[in-house]
């Protein structure tokens, strides 16, 4: 059980209703873009994208396969830039439309390397959709094709995003109080 949320969350950045409305809008973009395609492979990046991808997929009107990859590139609150694939795709993506589904693009290291890896597998195309875009922290040239919200450089949790595997189940995006993670780094 999540103890007193007010001791953990500095503020709610994006509430549940706003998230759901935006996800429906994003799904309409996906439906329009892929309307003439037979199928789409949605690739969720575990674990953070699961809630976003689930909500998005409920509103996608074309046939889609849901696939997952697990990668590791973070140490605490910072990206190391060293991307390791822990779980790869279970399907061949050659000549297929691939939509990478991410919870947040921060530095861009992980997604840049992952997209490059997938493009070497000869898909028809690889596009990116992310719930949150934090361009202020970007150190690579990667940009999402679609994004839910641009956010400031604050540490956020909820709706799939975590801190030390906690707080993913919050139904909103909240800014985590720095005292929560600073105490862990001492």
The dihedral region occupied by 101, where left means phi > 0, alpha psi between -120 and 50, and beta the remainder, is: beta
Examine the residue annotation and report whether 106 is marked as an active-site residue of this protein.
Answer: yes
Single out the catalytic residue among 106, 122, 145, 162: 106
Contact 142, 169 (CB under 8 A): no
Full DSSP string of 94-154:
TT-EEEEEEEEESSSHHHHHHHHHHHTT--SEEEEEEEEE-GGG--SS---SEEEEE--S-
SS3 call for 53: helix
**Catalytic residue numbers, as ranges:** 106
């Amino acid at each position: 059980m999540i103890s007193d949320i007010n001791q953990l969350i500095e503020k709610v950045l994006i509430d549940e209703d706003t998230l759901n409305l935006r996800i429906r809008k994003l799904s309409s973009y996906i439906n329009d873009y892929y309307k003439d395609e037979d199928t789409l492979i949605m690739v969720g990046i575990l674990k953070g994208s699961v809630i976003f991808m689930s909500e998005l997929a409920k509103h996608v009107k074309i046939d889609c396969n849901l696939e997952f990859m697990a990668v590791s590139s973070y140490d605490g609150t910072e990206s190391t830039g060293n991307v390791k694939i822990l779980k790869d795709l279970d399907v061949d993506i050659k000549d297929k439309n691939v939509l990478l589904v991410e919870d947040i693009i921060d530095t861009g290291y992980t997604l840049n390397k992952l997209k490059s890896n997938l493009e070497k597998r000869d898909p028809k195309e690889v596009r990116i959709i992310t719930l949150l875009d934090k361009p202020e922290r970007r150190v690579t040239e990667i940009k999402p094709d679609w994004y839910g919200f641009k956010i400031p450089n604050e540490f956020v949790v909820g709706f799939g995003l975590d801190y030390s595997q906690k707080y993913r189940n919050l139904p909103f995006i909240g800014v985590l109080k720095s005292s929560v993670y600073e105490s862990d780094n001492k």
